[in-house]
Amino acid sequence: MNEAQGTPDTTTALVTGANKGLGYETARRLGALGWRVFLGARDEERGQEAAERLTAGGADVRFVPLDVTSDDSVAAAVRAVRDSTDRLDVLVNNAGITGEKVGPMDRLIKPEETLPQHLIPVFRVNVFGPVRVTQAFLPLLRAADDPRVVMVSSGAGSLTVATDPKRPESAVAHLMYPVSKAALNMLTVQYANGIPDVRFNLADPGFTATDLNHHQGTQTVTEGTDAIVEFATTSPGPTRQYRDRNGDVPW
């Protein structure tokens, strides 16, 4: 391994959607452990600035342009990562969007207003994106001793939570974000069933203050990344699990 690739025992991770919020905090925390972190982001200016902030703090963080909706962008990201390492220990599929909002109050589109074209962009990022990125990086993941993929989901994707009258999620009526996360949950289970040499788990950040909820969340981004970091750093560890910072999340 050459100098650019680091030492053989350097743990490597790629985090998508990492120029801000949960992705950025995940990259920061993994970088603080001495890992080599590839910070993926669609916006090149913001992604580069985010990586430079973390690098200034002493972390080994490298920006990788990455649009999870683009085959060409993902293929270029694979080449960029391969130029620096011969394996990828951890992939964190974090990039996500909530879906279209309308009106002066920026409200979510109601179910009766929702059309197929409203779902397509959300699924393109939240479901098809993780498939595209995971498939492209599988060879690098399989080159690692204990490869693991962390899918960033949500309690909103839990059928049990969504139908529990004691939970605030049961009052949500939105056909885009919760449905996409429910799909991601099943997608992850099927990956775990079909690819036993790679560990696949789902992390629910909980109600965390990020741009997705206009920073109305009650948890900090550090608290929101607890489950992500736990799955990323536990080696050896479980597969086909769905957890938040407090423990298992019901399916």
Q: How far, in Å, CA of 121 to CA of 128, rounded?
A: 10
Q: How far, in Å, CA of 59 to CA of 71, rounded?
A: 29
pLDDT for residue 6 is more than 60? no
Helices (H) and strands (E) in the chain, counts: 9, 10
CA atoms lying within 13 Å on the CB side of residue 127: 20
Instruction: Name which residue leads in pLDDT, 143 or 4.
Output: 143
What does the pLDDT look like over 144-193, one tens digit per residue? 999 999 999 999 999 999 999 998 888 888 899 999 999 999 999 999 99
The pLDDT value recorded for residue 214 is: 57
Catalytic residue among 24, 177, 191, 242: 177
pLDDT for residue 248 is more than 90? yes
Mean pLDDT of the chain: 91
Q: Can you read off the two tokens belonging to residue 140?
A: 């690098």
The pLDDT value recorded for residue 105 is: 46
b/e string for 52-80 if b means 16 or more Cβ within 10 A?
eebbeeebbbbbbbbbbebeebbeebbeb
pLDDT for residue 8 is more than 50? yes
Residue range 33-51: average pLDDT? Answer: 97
Instruction: Indicate if 24 belongs to the active site.
Output: no
Confidence of residue 213 (pLDDT cuts 50, 70, 90): low
Q: Which strands, in side-by-side order, build the sheet including 148-152? A: 60-65, 36-41, 12-15, 90-93, 148-152, 199-203, 242-244, 247-248
Is-above-0.85 flag for pTM?
Answer: yes
**DSSP 3-state of 194:** helix
What does the pLDDT look like over 231-244, one tens digit per residue? 999 999 999 999 99
**DSSP 3-state of 150:** strand
Catalytic residue among 24, 181, 191, 242: 181
Instruction: Indicate if 181 belongs to the active site.
Output: yes
Q: Which residues, 6 or more positions from 1, have their beta carbon under 8 angstroms from its beta carbon? A: 7, 8, 86
Q: How far, in Å, CA of 144 to CA of 13, rounded?
A: 11
